[in-house]
Amino acid sequence: MKNKELQKYIQTQISQSKKRLESLSFNSEGKSFFRRNIFYNLNDLLNDFLKKRGEPRIVVMPGLRGMGKTTLLAQLYLSLEGDVDKLYLSVEEAIKRFDVDLWDIIENYEELMGRHIEQIDKPLIFFLDEIHYDKKWAFFLKSMYDRSRNVMIFCTGSSALLLKEQINADIARRVYFLDINPVHFSEYMLLKYGKTPIKNINEDLKNIIFFSKNAKEVFDELKKIESKIKKYWLDIDKFEFEKYVKFGTFPFTLRIENDSIAINFISQIISKVIYADISQFYNFEVETLNRIDRVLYLISDTLGVSILKLSEALEIKPDTLRLILKSLETSGIVSRVSPFGAHFKQVKKPSKYLFSTPSLRFSYLSSKESIGLFENYKGSLLEDMICMYLNSILKNFSLSYDSREGGADFIISNLNRKIILEASFGEKSYRQIVETSKRVKPSYNLIISSNDLEYSEELNAVKVPLKYFLLM
């Protein structure tokens, strides 16, 4: 459907996007912001396409709001030079302003350019922000993939699971998903201070800590890189970790000096997830949507969630509460950790609900108290952070926890192995992993704490310093 106003809008985007997107990539002095590590992965895909029309040609970047997805699109857009046509578009803005869908947008783009997509003979790159505002986005991408090998599309969406639930196998083989995860500590130090990470340290640590044969191998390999890690930490302020946990998992907060403003921005993200994303995919009444915030408030003060107790406290039906918790999980606000053995009927302990980043929990806790907040809740914040790391670096593992009293925080499992992981600030005994080991029979055991690196042959366990873990 031809739409002159829409064509005018598209023309404006073509002519003005560069200037608009520069504000996301450069500071007021014209100096480029440091780029996230994932930018270089995306840029490699883009260059491969430009040189030899390599795959993938459709890249979907899902992730929680506030993770810098729009900034990544801006940086990719601005990196393009030469004889390349390109279009950046906020799908949310276009659809809401003109009451159209993605097919309408492309039809009017073709009308404006005077040619069909099938007729182009040079690279054409689309940057589509918030693509999930078109409910048929997946079929649109399939169509675009099939129409021309000269088209590449980068697009973002606010929730990985919500996005992926809408696709079938036929579409999935054409689309490459690249999750935009919260910022890890070494990336935080790079983005905020320009501190260069140790080369390949994240992959080295991941392979050592999670893919060794036993605890002795973990210990021996960590000893080999111990000096490099200690050198990295020499000039880092002792309070930097606390700052990171509170705000630093969101890239946009790194340029905000005022703590209250940072907390307010994070709160706004949560609100938009509830009232824009969740409301779009779930048929909740307004009253139920309003209660979601209360659910999160209660979760922030506890780890285990009893459905019955929570439903009574909130005066909502258990089935409604389960759906609320599912919506929070699929929208990327919380991560659910099931009790170990939950697939057996006799296990009736509640799941643990952790926030997908500790910064989300801290924003809720900030409304309760201010004095001593980090100290009072640092154990829960640490669990959030460790779960965040595990979810982003271990793609083929499942997470559970030992629900028995005194059980370990995490049990990391795949078909071939299990690893018990306990986390704590300060000195930490082996008690929890000893108890859980009796039940789980792990490949080895890990304790993440502020202890020095330590090995126990008897318990097949390693105490991994938190400073090591943070560099993954």
Angle between helices 373-393 and 201-211 (to 10 degrees): 90
From 180, 206, 241, give the residue that closes a domain: 180
Q: Do both 38 and 141 map to the same domain?
A: yes
Per DSSP, the residues of 41-73 read HHHHHHHHHHHH-PSP-EEEEE--TTSSHHHHH
Q: Do both 384 and 304 map to the same domain?
A: yes
We report the CATH number of the domain holding residue 173 as: 3.40.50.300
Q: Do both 19 and 149 map to the same domain?
A: yes
Q: Do both 229 and 120 map to the same domain?
A: no
Q: Do both 243 and 126 map to the same domain?
A: no
Query: What long-range pairs does 284-290 form, CB within 8 A, spacing at least 24?
Result: 284/323, 284/324, 284/327, 288/316, 288/320, 288/324
Burial class (CB in 10 A: 0-12, 13-18, 19+), 415: exposed
Which has the closest alpha carbon to 470: 188, 170, 47?
188
Low pLDDT (below 50) residues in the chain: 160-161, 344-346
- End-to-end CA gap in the chain: 50
For the chain, what percentages of helix, strand and coil (3-state, to nearest 5) are there?
A: 55, 15, 35
Can you name the residues that pair with 89 across neighbouring β-strands?
128
Q: Do both 291 and 392 map to the same domain?
A: yes
What integer pLDDT is reported at residue 161 of this predicted model?
45
Which has the closest alpha carbon to 267: 107, 65, 449, 432?
65
What integer pLDDT is reported at residue 241 of this predicted model?
95
Which has the closest alpha carbon to 176: 152, 143, 158?
152
Which residues form the domain of 46?
Answer: 4-180
What integer pLDDT is reported at residue 351 of this predicted model?
87
The pTM (predicted TM-score) of the whole model is 0.92
What integer pLDDT is reported at residue 276 of this predicted model?
86
Q: Where are the beta strands (DSSP E) in 68-175?
A: 85-90, 124-129, 151-157
What integer pLDDT is reported at residue 347 of this predicted model?
52
Q: Do both 246 and 335 map to the same domain?
A: yes
From 138, 162, 180, give the residue that closes a domain: 180
Q: Do both 141 and 249 map to the same domain?
A: no
From 180, 196, 213, give the residue that closes a domain: 180
Q: Do both 27 and 137 map to the same domain?
A: yes
Q: Which two tokens stand for residue 63?
A: 């992730």
Dihedral-angle region of residue 44 (phi above 0 means left; psi in -120 to 50 means alpha; beta otherwise): alpha
Residues whose CB falls within 8 Å of the CB of residue 179, separated by 6 or more in sequence, listed in order: 61, 62, 63, 160, 392
Q: Do both 295 and 170 map to the same domain?
A: no
Q: Do both 326 and 298 map to the same domain?
A: yes
> How many structural domains are present in the chain?
2
Length reported for the chain: 472
Strand ordering across the sheet containing 454-456: 352-355, 334-339, 398-401, 410-413, 418-423, 444-449, 461-465, 454-456
Q: Do both 11 and 38 map to the same domain?
A: yes
Q: Which two tokens stand for residue 128?
A: 């589509």
